[in-house]
Amino acid sequence: MPLLLSFFYFFYFAIVGVYVIFMPKVLEMSGYSASEIGIIFAAGPMVRFLLPFAFTKGLKLSAKSFNVALIIMIASAISFYLSLESFYRLLFSNIGLGIGMSLILPYIELISLGHIGKERYGKIRLFGSVGFVLVALVLVKLLSEASVALDFLLSLTFLTVIFGYIIVKNADKTEQKEKEEVSDINLLVDWKLWLGLTLMQVSFGSFYNFFTIYETDYGVSLDMTIYLWTFGVLIEIVMLFFQGRLLRGNLLLILQITTLASALRWFLVFAFPQNLIILFFSQSLHALSFALFHSAAISYLFHLYKHKSLAQQFFSGITYGLGGFSGALLAGYIYEWYPKYLFLSSAFIAFGSFVFIYLWHQKSKVIGRNPR
């Protein structure tokens, strides 16, 4: 199982690499405005946000729904070839890809945490980072036209689907263990925690959707921008490999440290957009703001709630979904109207994430909800 999971993460996050590093640039080259790019890339996360609520109304995250999601992913990847010249067709292709990806990752994460535990999770998940960085290094040399990026997207989606299908077919039926669990997730009661986690992803809207455009607009070459992406992911891989011992500690304290580090990271990109030394340092903080934050967050939710599959769906849907949607949309309009302040806005949002997680930490001490 660990080997299969490693392959899945490799190909899944290679798709993410194509999507977040190259597709915004491809759309800009195709004549789309910054606000249109923001809207297009906000569609997938919005669907990702809405889907978990359907699972509170009777739908089950099961092997069957997982396989349906795999079919949707393949169909959507193919549809990109017919959609690039049309804003609305491209919008619907992104929605389809968002549906597929938002359903399969929480299910795989649940299998990973159930089979290998939080201490070993990083050593498997790091293969996703390897896939992300390799596709960046390869595609930057081959991206002569938009169709090249689409070919990579389709090929990687096909491989992700194959390994996802094999994993779920061979995994223990985790969903059977939870059928009798009543959902103990109350977003209104735990709003400080969920708002804090969501704001963190809102702050990433500028980075995921506009970092390549932002840096190249400031005169940094595309090759150097890809090296910045690559460096950040290499540092992330190191963190994923060694983070197991850290995750045995206070997970909420880790979440506070990582959100505060993210606020510093975005401020440095705002203040020094052309200083390569500082930009590389800011990218080193990706080890905290993505790798350690993500692992600590899913581990905390896994132990906090009894309904573990729904907790992972809500984390994917609310934080990466609603947060990603809001971040992409906000970043698109800020970059079109006030491009200089794009990453300053992200710094303030990340600091807001720190504040709300800190407030939740204080509350959890009082009510005794601070699982390790």
Residue with tokens 């905290």: 288
| CA 120 from centre of chain | 20
Share of the chain above pLDDT 90, in %: 33
Please list, in sequence order, all residues whose beta carbon lies within 8 angstroms of the beta carbon of residue 59, skipping any fewer than 6 positions away: 65
Paired tokens of 5: 């999971």
Judge contact between 208 and 101, C-beta under 8 A.
no
From 30, 4, 311, select the one nearest 127 (Cα to Cα).
4
pLDDT of residue 17: 84
Among the listed ranges 27-31, 166-170, 241-245, 336-340, which one has the minimum average pLDDT value? 27-31
Cα dist from 114 to 175, 302, 308, whole Å: 11, 9, 10
Share of the chain above pLDDT 70, in %: 92
pLDDT of residue 281: 97
**Count of CB atoms situated within 10 Å of the CB of 362:** 11
Which residues in 68-84 are b (16+ Cβ under 10 Å) and which e?
ebbebbbebbbbbeebb
- Does residue 42 carry a pLDDT above 50? yes
pLDDT of residue 174: 46
Among the listed ranges 57-66, 146-155, 315-324, which one has the minimum average pLDDT value? 57-66
pLDDT of residue 308: 75
* Rounded Cα distance, 91 and 236, in Å: 31
Paired tokens of 279: 């930009």
- Does residue 157 carry a pLDDT above 70? yes
Judge contact between 40 and 80, C-beta under 8 A.
no
Average pLDDT over residues 96-106: 85
From 53, 41, 39, select the one nearest 317 (Cα to Cα).
53
Which element (helix H / strand E) includes 304?
A: helix 293-304
Cα dist from 145 to 74, 84, 131, whole Å: 22, 12, 22
Domains and CATH numbers, the chain: 2-367 (1.20.1250.20)
- Does residue 175 carry a pLDDT above 50? no
From 38, 17, 32, 33, select the one nearest 233 (Cα to Cα).
17
Average pLDDT of the chain is: 85
